Structure 1
Amino acid sequence: MSSPTYLNVHNQFKLNGFHLDRDDLCRVAYSFIKEGDDFERPVGHFLLDWFDHNDFIEMNTSGSTGIPKVIRVEKQAMVNSALATGDFFELSPGDKVLNCLPVKYVAGKMMLVRGFILGLDMDFVAPTARPLKNNDTPYEFSAMVPLQAQNSIGELHQVRKLIVGGAKINATLEKELQNLPGDVFETYGMTETVSHIAAKKVGERPFTVLPNVAVTVDDRSCLVISAPAISADVIVTNDLVDLISETQFIWKGRIDNVINSGGVKLSPEQIEEKLYKQLDRRFFVAGVPDEDLGERLILVVEGSPYVLPEGLFNHLDKYEKPREVVFVAQFSETGNGKIIRKATLGL
């Protein structure tokens, strides 16, 4: 049996209870564009782009680590990614799934592609902060950003397999997710990898790659991804990792976030990991210019100033202790909730 192509729509695909083929989806697209709600119009545009004569889709990167840019992604690569997700999470035609992500971004687009390629029975709802509100339907699979998962803790027992991505899962949420009856996974990926290429159960450290993906590191200890079904070229990232094998790695942080303070190189993400359980607000650590040190380590906390927990820095190493605490009323972030550090600092 040949693998599906981007021209296929699985004959078991349903959207909000209706069996839809390619022609039906094009009619839905025009309807969404003409008279749909704000969250439906991007779906209409995406569907028309998907079924046009091109073999690629243009997508915007998130901009969390640099200037947002438009990249071209092959439609067949998106199909192959959907198939890999189906294999990894053991999804079958007819499985009931929930798409509550904005289709403006790759994660929401990929949920749709998984739907009509794998033949899923998809409920598509507005990408609100609490997407399961007033909905008691049981689902085999869904994807959320951390904010949605946090606000939906009371309803997440309805989801058998949940993937959470787009931003960091904090320690409090991680503990709550581990207590759920279903399986919850944190994912690793980016627009360039067509959504996720690896996942791990919440609470575990190593990520495991999806089928037909292999990883290694370069001379900077940054992750290099080989996924021929998704990209003809290897993808060199700026993510520092500990490589366990060609199928597993532990994410440590981004090399472009590394702070050089007085000649000591510090990884913000590793310092943040030590602070997550003690701070109940969003925060990050960063380096700001310093005449003596080159860069001075600071802690940036969201919201109005307050007294930090006593002994907050006691378990940090000497050079990991921030020299200053800065409060920022509201962090700059991408549409899926990922903090844009430089914009928050006004850099």
Structure 2
Amino acid sequence: MTNLATLLTASAAARPDARAVVLDDAVLGYGALDDLSARAASMLVSAGVVPGDRVAMILPNVPHMPIAYYGILRMGGVVVPLNPLLTPRELAYHFEDAEVSVVLVWEAVAGATREAVAGLGRQLPVVEISAAGTLQTLAQVPPLPEVLDQADDDPAVLLYTSGTTGRPKGAVLTHHNLLSNAQLSAELFSLGPGDVMFGGLPFFHVFGQTVALNGVVCAGATVTLLPRFDPARALEILARDEVTVFAGVPSMYIALLHAAGDGPVDLPRLRAGVSGGAALPVEILERFEKVFGAPIYEGYGLSETSPVVCFNQQGQARKPGSIGTAVRGARLKVVDDQDREVPVGEVGELVVAGEYVMAGYWRNPEATAAAVRDGWFHTGDLARVDEDGFYYIVDRKKDMVLRGGYNVYPREVEEVIYQFPGIAEAAVVGVPDEEMGEEVAAVVAFRDVPADGATGKLGELDAFVRERVALYKQPRWYKVVDELPKGPTGKILKRSLDLTGAQRRS
């Protein structure tokens, strides 16, 4: 049978009393998680959800998230995981683009969902998930006895990302994509029933979802949750729950080092760190390994590749600064602008093929055709490969900003800025930040207002943007100029922007 939910049913059958999910004092065993997800599936069927329907899920990392996630999957629904920080405007776009049939939302952030749904012009059921009430409700629902068999290429999850248009696109990940990448993740990190994974990566993001949720469930291991990352709390959880594998983005490793001070930190059970999402500075890698006494394995992946396709793998040499070698089931190469493979050591675009590549972008054949050519997904990342087959990312996607592990797509923020009255030009870029890795900066020019007289306008613009984009996307730095630098075709040259004198917002 092919259904991503069989990861759960298999582990529950093998070890029903083992811990699956931990959140402080709350513990959910595999048998209980299996039972509750079957009841969630039954509830969705009773609500009229049919196989193939998209179900939006707006939940933080709480035990209710895997209950809903596997519940949707086992009845044949397609999970549309969304960031709880999205604004009503952003949520409405996703609801309409994915044509969702029902929304499951955490009670603390339900207001934005209600506002989004009110403006849709169609009926869209909203189910609020509460800490205690939802579990009591599910206890009264008879479980759905079977897991629906799915074809390998049936959609399982619709993960929203973005491209050159700035409009978020839904990457269609199939049951086979995610099932095979979860099995790969369990193998890569040697996960077993005795392991405890740190669950601070958001499960609505592909890294956390595959490595810290599906990979853990595949192995029958335990994930201990931290809904909102805080380095001091993370250190407490690492010690309290005897975490064996820490999965995080570079900003998390930096924050842990700051919280740990001079160290060393005594965590005898911690045997590995897993890093992805952005390049991890070699200095940070070496400091972490010295302070925490565990090696970090750095790798690479994208939403469109389920995500893991390249890693510094256990049992072979590690090369700090590299993303490692291609994993089983994935093929990588570096190509030029004509899609010809370049020689070893030369820089080109990294392209990926194999069983982890998405089925395509949701109802967007033009974007799919542009991204996947002859079976190769074009990442937009510049890379090189050495004589040993180790890959190195030379530069990230040309415009994307990675703030604390979240992808911020400048075009999306720029479109909001351009809606502000009086804006002539705008460019959003990333600037280095010690804590977050990168922060978002906006350089703008106002019409009929010189740069040296625009202080008042800048405050109004900041307030305008704050109302319209999620917190993690909001610019923290602003600079007003009279004119932005441009190339011969009139295109704004972001690499030529000078952020000297930029103002940090309060």
| Structure 2 match to 1:184 | 296
Say if 2:383 is the partner of 1:241.
yes
Alignment CA distance shift 1:72-1:277 (3 Å):
closer
Q: Give the drift of 1:6.
A: 4.1
Say if 2:259 is the partner of 1:159.
no
Equivalent-residue separation in structure 1 for 2:309 and 2:330 (angstroms):
7
Q: Which of 234-243 and 58-67 deviates more? A: 58-67
Alignment CA distance shift 1:92-1:176 (3 Å):
same
Say if 2:150 is the partner of 1:150.
no
SS in 1 for 2:274: strand
Equivalent-residue separation in structure 2 for 1:149 and 1:82 (angstroms):
23
SS in 2 for 1:290: coil
For residues 116-173 of structure 1, the C-alpha deviation after alignment (integer angstroms, 9 at most, x for no partner) is 2121122233232225243313222131122322222325845311112223434653
Equivalent-residue separation in structure 1 for 2:255 and 2:287 (angstroms):
11
SS in 2 for 1:159: coil
Q: Give the drift of 1:213.
A: 1.5
Equivalent-residue separation in structure 1 for 2:299 and 2:195 (angstroms):
21
Corresponding letter in the other structure for 1:20: Y
- RMSD of equivalent CA atoms: 4.2
> Please, what TM-score do these two structures have when normalized by structure 1?
0.67
Say if 2:269 is the partner of 1:73.
no
The answer to whether the Cα contact below 8 Å between 1:241 and 1:251 also exists between their aligned partners in 2 is yes
Equivalent-residue separation in structure 1 for 2:377 and 2:208 (angstroms):
22
Q: How do 1:1-347 residues align onto structure 2 when only pairs under 5 Å count? A: 6-9=5-8, 10=11, 11-12=14-15, 14-15=19-20, 16=22, 17-21=27-31, 23-26=34-37, 38-40=60-62, 42-54=65-77, 55-63=154-162, 66-110=166-210, 111-130=212-231, 131-135=233-237, 136=239, 137-153=241-257, 154=260, 157=267, 159-170=270-281, 173-179=284-290, 180-200=292-312, 203-205=320-322, 207-220=324-337, 221-228=348-355, 230-231=357-358, 233-244=375-386, 247-254=389-396, 256-257=398-399, 282=438, 289-290=485-486, 295=493, 297-298=495-496, 325=500, 327-329=502-504
The answer to whether the Cα contact below 8 Å between 1:215 and 1:247 also exists between their aligned partners in 2 is no
The percent of aligned pairs where both chains have the same amino acid is: 16
Where does structure 1 lack aligned partners over 5 or more consecutive residues?
A: 259-274, 300-322, 331-347
Corresponding letter in the other structure for 2:355: P
Equivalent-residue separation in structure 1 for 2:224 and 2:247 (angstroms):
12
Q: Give the drift of 1:48.
A: 2.2
Alignment CA distance shift 1:20-1:279 (3 Å):
closer
Q: Give the drift of 1:81.
A: 0.5
Equivalent-residue separation in structure 2 for 1:28 and 1:101 (angstroms):
26
SS in 2 for 1:325: coil
The structure with the largest strand share of the pair is 1
For residues 81-121 of structure 1, the C-alpha deviation after alignment (integer angstroms, 9 at most, x for no partner) is 11112222222233222212222212222121112212112
For residues 214-237 of structure 1, the C-alpha deviation after alignment (integer angstroms, 9 at most, x for no partner) is 211232321111222555743221
Q: Which of 15-24 and 106-115 deviates more? A: 15-24
Where does structure 2 lack aligned partners over 5 or more consecutive residues?
A: 45-57, 78-153, 313-317, 338-347, 360-374, 401-430, 444-483
Equivalent-residue separation in structure 2 for 1:37 and 1:106 (angstroms):
14
Corresponding letter in the other structure for 2:504: A
Alignment CA distance shift 1:64-1:142 (3 Å):
farther
Equivalent-residue separation in structure 1 for 2:376 and 2:248 (angstroms):
28
The answer to whether the Cα contact below 8 Å between 1:215 and 1:246 also exists between their aligned partners in 2 is no
Equivalent-residue separation in structure 2 for 1:14 and 1:278 (angstroms):
36
Q: Give the drift of 1:192.
A: 0.5
The answer to whether the Cα contact below 8 Å between 1:80 and 1:230 also exists between their aligned partners in 2 is no
Equivalent-residue separation in structure 2 for 1:228 and 1:37 (angstroms):
28
| Structure 2 match to 1:345 | none
The answer to whether the Cα contact below 8 Å between 2:3 and 2:73 also exists between their aligned partners in 1 is no
The number of equivalent residue pairs is 287
The structure with the largest helix share of the pair is 2
> Please, what TM-score do these two structures have when normalized by structure 2?
0.48
